[in-house]
Amino acid sequence: MNPTISVCDDHESLSRQAADRILNALGGKRDLLLCAAGGSTPLRTYQLLADHRAHSPDAFRSMRVVKLDEWGGLPTEDPATCDTQLRMRLIHPLGLSDDRYLRF
């Protein structure tokens, strides 16, 4: 698979394009493994995916997520961790079970 580089005019169009690419990939591979990052940049993409789930509850039934990154030096229970953010903004809104969320 050759990567495609796209230039977007703003964060909203970038987020929509990212969500569309994830949904298209998921359409071809129901047990898609998504490598998800923490931080503010992907939050709108995660919201768009959660919005899609509201209309298609089974869309993410087999999807898996692996956490890409984590802040160094934070205790695991700290609310500022990438793990906490991904759980609140992606894992729970998509209805993913803990066995489909891989983290370190």
CA distance 1 to 63: 20
Domain ranges of the chain: 11-102
Q: What 3-state class would DSSP assign to 85?
A: helix
- CA-based diameter of the chain, in Å? 39
CA distance 32 to 55: 19
* Residue 4: pLDDT over 90: no
User: Does residue 77 or residue 21 have the better pLDDT?
Assistant: 21
* Residue 15: pLDDT over 70: yes
Q: What is the pTM of this model?
A: 0.90
CA distance 8 to 87: 27
The answer to whether the beta carbons of residues 53 and 95 sit under 8 Å apart is: yes
pLDDT tens for 28-48 read 999 999 999 999 999 999 999
Q: Does the structural domain 11-102 have CATH classification 3.40.50.10800?
A: no
pLDDT confidence bin for 1, thresholds 50/70/90: low
pLDDT tens for 44-83 read 999 999 999 999 989 999 999 999 988 888 887 888 889 9
